[in-house]
Structure 1
Amino acid sequence: MYLENASTVIVLKTPKTESSVRKVWMPKTVAYILREWKASQDKQKAFLGDEYLDYGLVIALPNGRPCEETVINNAFRRLKKEANLPNVVFHSLRHSSTTYKLKLNHGDLKATQGDTGHSQVDMITKIYAHILDEDRKVNAQKFESAFYANPDLRSVHAPQEEKTQPLLDAQTLLSQLQQSPELLSNLTSLILAQAGR
């Protein structure tokens, strides 16, 4: 696609592989947001009439033309600044999504692979091994309590564990706050209420 007075050419094409065209399940909230976005695009199309260039894009300029990468990156930069979020690259959202899916589905690699589009499951295990290791540690703890808790099974008993507060995983908390504006708002209100005591 050639734009007047521009040195950039935007090429719209089909994905590289057949597996790149896939069904992705999303939360209802995201679906509702996309419906609202589609309704606003439809209003813009009606307003511009023939001047709207409809390429069937979700992310497009107000006249329907595709966005250059810089447009998306600039919008992402503004969002991070306005929401006081860490300065991460756009691709970090993919990593966060994959990490949460692995945590929520207890390491179900095939289900996660279906959403990420990785051609091989081992790509996920290589990149996200630390998440899977955490789940393996939990599995060992569950196995200990389920199997060895019965004194008839062995004469040696594990020492009493000290009850400690679980460590707060700052990266997990930050990622959850980034994905849930409502959680961020509630936490901010709680902190402000505690400070005002």
Structure 2
Amino acid sequence: MLQSIQEDKLLHLVVHLAFVCSLRAGEIAGIDIRTIDVRDRCLWITRQVQRVSDTALSVLPKNEIIRVFPKLIHTSKSSLILKGPKTEDSHRKQYLTVPLIREIQERLAEIEANKRFFGSEYHDYGLLICQPDGRPIDPKNLESAFREHQARISIPYEERVDIQGLRKSGQMHKVRLSKNDYQLVAESAGQSPEVLMSNYNEALDSEKRALSRMVEGSFYPQQESEQAQTDEVSELVARLQQNPDLQRQLLQNLLLGAVGAEASTQCKDISRLAGFVS
């Protein structure tokens, strides 16, 4: 996947960070360049960028807010803010791979060039992931850019992942590399071992389902496999004809576009995801 994003350096870095460091989109958008230690090949996760409504902003404890960024559209009813990590455990040190630290160094050089170009028009908030003039990037825009890239390179819709999916796949890869050291991997990702184990079991179930499909495709003659699918469809039609309530529920779900859309981005084949950024 990383090789396919060479034309978009910023998105390339975002994907690289999400997988290797198991970062949330808001954490990526909030990385402080002053916490990056090139010699020690590490950085600290100390803050995140988040969009909140004006109503929510008015009740947020002031000590949780580091900065409220100026609105680009004055009539907007929400603002981007810089705040502390999601939890105390989310405040953490991340060690970086050699390729990732090199990419970060290139990004830092690009930021310095942008500062010279924009001069006094540059908004220096100390952000690693930012617009050319230094202004913050909405984490949702990072998600949108990643989804659009996957569509461009013709990844099937049901196989696409969001940045949270990259974070999870990075965690699962580390679990296997560490021979199931959940405590170590959880601390690296800034979450509890219980949450990590839940994510792992969820992903493992997806792997089992994928394995079952592979067995079906390789073991049974094609005609039997097609007949099995036909039988399943016939059974479903019969159930719908006998159950008006089920018909209405299915129609409502189809109209809302809710059938499996969100779940498909959370549970993916881990071996495919582990190679997602190779």
Q: Figure out how many residues of one structure are paired with residues of the other and give that number.
A: 144
Highest Rg: 1 or 2? Answer: 1
Does the C-alpha gap of structure 1 residues 44 and 9 become closer, same or farther in structure 2, counting only changes over 3 Å?
Answer: same
- How big is the shift at 1:64? 0.7
- Higher RCO by CA contacts (8 Å cutoff, separation 6 or greater): 2
Larger displacement relative to structure 2 (10-19 or 50-59)? 10-19
- How big is the shift at 1:74? 2.5
Matches within 5 A, 1:43-122: 43-85=113-155, 86-118=159-191, 120-122=192-194
The one-character-per-residue Cα deviations of 1:108-138 (angstroms, maximum 9, x if unpaired) are: 11220121111x32222233137799xxxxx
- How big is the shift at 1:99? 0.6
Aligned residues of 1:24 and 1:114 also touching (Cα < 8 A): no
1:13 matched to which residue of 2?
83
- How big is the shift at 1:94? 0.9
Give, in whole Å, the separation in 2 of the partners of 1:71 and 1:45. 23
CA RMSD of aligned residues (A): 2.5
Give, in whole Å, the separation in 2 of the partners of 1:83 and 1:31. 27
Aligned residues of 1:98 and 1:112 also touching (Cα < 8 A): yes
The one-character-per-residue Cα deviations of 1:22-58 (angstroms, maximum 9, x if unpaired) are: 1012221111111111111111111111111111112
2:71 matched to which residue of 1?
3
Matches within 5 A, 1:133-144: none
Q: Which structure 1 segments of 5+ residues have no match?
A: 134-166, 181-197
- How big is the shift at 1:65? 0.8
2:273 matched to which residue of 1?
175
- TM-score with structure 1 setting the length: 0.64
- TM-score with structure 2 setting the length: 0.46
- How big is the shift at 1:17? 3.5
Q: Which structure 2 segments of 5+ residues have no match?
A: 1-68, 206-217, 219-267
Give, in whole Å, the separation in 1 of the partners of 2:274 and 2:199. 20
Amino acid in structure 1 at the alignment position of 2:168? H
Amino acid in structure 1 at the alignment position of 2:269? Q
The one-character-per-residue Cα deviations of 1:43-102 (angstroms, maximum 9, x if unpaired) are: 111111111111111211111111123321222123213343332222101110111000
2:199 matched to which residue of 1?
127
